[in-house]
Homo-oligomer: A and B are copies of this chain.
């Protein structure tokens, strides 16, 4: 599972639909959060949208590269976590995802 965050619903929609359309993720779940952080010395408490992308271990690097290329942030949060999926769901994810042309 790869997660990232963006600062607008429009960017969240664009990245989520794009990652699925490019077949780099089988499913992307989006939710609004409040983010607290310090950036260049100033504290921030801002709305963000978090994307949780379900993909395969094989496709995760290509997904992260695509997200980075599409991302509006200078330093995007790109986190990856292994998750164990039920067999039929894992099968569905594998069928949906093509990490590279000809995959």
> Which residues of A approach B to under 8 Å, CB–CB?
1, 5, 13, 16-17, 19-21, 26-38, 43, 45, 48, 50, 52, 54, 64, 68, 75-86, 88-89, 92, 96
A sample of 29 cross-chain residue pairs with beta-carbon separation below 8 angstroms, ordered by A number, consists of A5-B29, A16-B34, A16-B45, A17-B45, A20-B37, A21-B43, A27-B77, A28-B35, A29-B35, A29-B48, A30-B33, A30-B35, A30-B36, A31-B32, A33-B52, A54-B77, A54-B79, A64-B86, A76-B89, A77-B85, A77-B86, A77-B89, A78-B85, A79-B83, A79-B85, A79-B86, A81-B81, A81-B82, A81-B84
Complex Cα gap A53–B33 (Å): 12
